[in-house]
Structure 1
Amino acid sequence: MTADEFLATCWTTAGDAAPDEEDQRSPLDLRERVEAARQSGFTAFGLLYADLVEAERAYGMAGIRSLFADNGINHVELELLTDWWADGPRRAASDEIRTGMLKALETLGARTFKIGPDVADEPWELDVWAKEFAVLTAQADGVGARLGVEPLPWSNLKTVHDGLRLVEAAGHPAGGLVIDVWHTERAHTPPAELAEVPGSRIVGVELNDADSDVVGTLFEDTVHRRRLCGEGSFDLPGAIVALRTAGFHGPWGVEILSDAHRALPVREAAAAAYRSAAALVN
């Protein structure tokens, strides 16, 4: 049996950058981030598209590919497309980013294309969303990647069940879910229900931890107060067993978002994230 592999999701190595900032770009050079991840033990790497655009200016796409290859990174994840269901100016802006992301996925040989739901939780129609999801999934499949949507408890896809309903309605085999245990815990989805998700529909998993009490809004809590795996209240061993039962084989994403994590030098942050997750998975 091969050893479990781990993916440093984009925020885990981003340094002083966060999803609630207007400018979400990492202040760190991509080389520093990738080397920190690899030296910690990660063999897979997640990147925000805005950071990829910056890195391309410095290294070119060929240089980025070499950077990943030289550091043993064999699985690349790119995020996060939103408004893929919208129309008007929002859709036009989203489509421009979509085009760039699809091109980058193909050029880098990236395997995971991560998208978000509607965090405004506006009324939506399943058949419309399923059609849009199917089109985007086919585009991702066409460049060799799988499409994963991440349910968020404050969005229109609040649970893995909501997400799975969309994915199954779309029907494309390359589409599925990114299951973040922070969101499943805060959505009150017990680990036993994760075991019932078809393994073929699990595109990615993200591990982390948190205190039992939510401070502020769910979004504020998830951005500022996550904890390292094993340092909070989540039933991570139960979730890991359930996801294995469902058929997930990795790489296991580790997504740590917190003020404390952002304040650490990137090598310390990456090492702590890897060490705490590996202690539970292996």
Structure 2
Amino acid sequence: MSGNKADTGPGLILGYGNLTGVSFEERVAAAVAAGADAIGYSVFEFQDAKREGVGAKDLAAIADRSGMRVAELEVGLGFDGPADGRRWGPSWFPWDLPYMDAGVEQDFIELADAFGAHHIVVAASSGGDGAESAARFARICDQAAEVGAKVAIEFLPGTDMPDIATSLAVVQAADRDNGGLCVDNWHFMRGNADEQALRSLPGDRVVVVQLSDGPATPLTEDYFEETLKHRKLFGDGEWDVVGFLGALRACGATAPVSIEILSEQWQARPAAETAAAFVAGARALEPRTS
């Protein structure tokens, strides 16, 4: 089994979306060469791998041979929505992906067990009533707890949990020790940038901090196009990434940092070059990642 479920955290994670169009083996090799502590993996990539006859244990063996931990698993879309094959919203989201259902949940648990993953990231529905959100989140947390993993809600503008306050309310209502938030500075800066909510977050409810940089003014009016294509390397944008991370550390959050720079510009470069630049940039953000 990859990783150690009893440890304190995976350190610096090179998230899944930074390196696309490359094999799992190449992604692992690039992360090792760059000096990342761990990488992320997509449940949708796993579904493709299974169709090719590759299982979770096969992937874990590849990571183990390189000494690389797979710590982050993404993303359970609409964990609180209808598990009947319908397309996940918001309506302008560019990919044809279904709501999270029992099969996706099982894939997450299988991966978390094989990898010894630190956390699973989920996101909310769009246009639901939210009546059972806490109960559904609690159930997923209970499943993840059986394999030693945490579960983090990633707040996304355009969903029923668009910001810190709405997602934290669900986490607190579910009341599971392994449940918390994925705090992504991109969605914070481009959504409800509530500084008071950020600075008053219970530190122990922050499971992971996802970081990128960005321009002060969006490059396009299409939120998801910019989110998926135009994030910036730390220092190339105009945000105070160090201050954002410092605010979370000040509230007691010791969660790992996951690099999430979704950028067409960087994805066109060799994977090893991109990984090296991203990890070096993240290492400079705070002493604890050095």
TM range (shorter): 0.7 to 0.9
Task: Name 1:28's counterpart in structure 2.
Answer: 22
In structure 1, give the amino acid aligned to 2:56. Answer: M
**In structure 2, which of residues 38, 44, 53 is the aligned counterpart of residue 44 of structure 1?**
38
Give the secondary structure class of the aligned counterpart of 2:253.
coil
Other-structure match for 1:223: 228
Q: Which deviates more, 216-225 or 202-211?
A: 216-225
Change (3 A) 1:266 1:58: farther
- C-alpha separation between the residues in 2 aligned to 1:268 and 1:66? 25
Instruction: Determine whether 1:159 maps to 2:153.
Output: no
Unaligned runs of 5+ in 2: 1-7, 87-98
Q: Which moved more, 1:86-95 or 1:184-193?
A: 86-95
Give, in whole Å, the separation in 2 of the partners of 1:152 and 1:217. Answer: 14
Distance 2:200 2:68 in 1: 31
Cα offset, 1:59, TM superposition: 5.5
Structure 1 residues 59 and 229, CA gap change in structure 2 (3 angstroms):
same
Match of 1:130 among 126, 129, 134: 134
Q: How far apart in 1 are the matches of 2:27 and 2:53?
A: 14
Amino acid of the residue matched to residue 248 of structure 1? A
> Structure 2: how far apart are the matches of 1:191 and 1:68?
38
TM-score (norm 2): 0.84
Query: 2:206 touches 2:255 (CA, 8 Å); kept in 1?
Result: no
Does 2:112 match 1:105? Answer: yes
Q: Does 1:85 align with 2:90?
A: no
Kept in 1, the 8 Å contact 2:31–2:275? The answer is yes
For 1:243-258, what aligned pairs fall within 5 Å after superposition? 243-258=248-263
The residue identity in structure 2 corresponding to 1:263 is A
The secondary structure found in structure 2 opposite 1:90 is: coil
Q: Is the 8 A contact 2:216 2:238 kept in 1?
A: yes
CA deviations 1:228-279 (Å, max 9, x no partner) are 0121121111111111112222421000111101211111111111111212
For residues 256 and 232 of structure 2, the distance between their equivalents in structure 1, rounded to whole angstroms, comes to 20
Does residue 101 of structure 2 align to residue 94 of structure 1? yes
Q: Is the 8 A contact 1:43 1:75 kept in 2?
A: no
> Shift of the alpha carbon at 1:195?
2.8
Structure 1, unaligned stretches of length 5 or more?
Answer: 15-26
Cα distance 1:138–1:225, how it changes in 2: closer, same or farther (>3 A)?
A: same
Partner Cα distance (1:236, 1:87) in 2: 36
- Is this contact kept in 2: 1:6–1:250, CA < 8 A? no
Matches of 2:264 and 2:243 in 1, distance apart? Answer: 27
Q: Relative to 1, partners in 2 of residues 1:256 and 1:63: Cα closer, same or farther, differing over 3 Å?
A: same
Partner of residue 73 from structure 1, selected from 64, 68, 74: 68
- In the TM superposition, what are the counterparts of 1:9-20 in structure 2 within 5 Å? 9-14=15-20
Deviation at 1:104, TM superposition (A): 1.9
In structure 1, which of residues 102, 107, 115 is the aligned counterpart of residue 122 of structure 2?
115
Matches within 5 A, 1:193-272: 193-214=197-218, 215-272=220-277
Helix, strand or coil at the partner of 2:281: helix
Are the structure 2 counterparts of residues 280 and 191 from structure 1 closer, same or farther at C-alpha, using a change threshold of 3 Å? Answer: farther
Q: Please provide the CA RMSD for this pair.
A: 2.3
Matched pairs, number: 266
Q: Secondary structure at the match of 2:132?
A: helix
CA contact (8 A) 2:42 2:74 kept: yes
Tell me which residue corresponds to 1:143: 147
2:79 alignment partner, SS class: coil
Offset of residue 112 of structure 1: 0.7
CA apart distance, 1:191: 4.8
- Cα distance in 1 between the residues matched to 2:274 and 2:150: 28
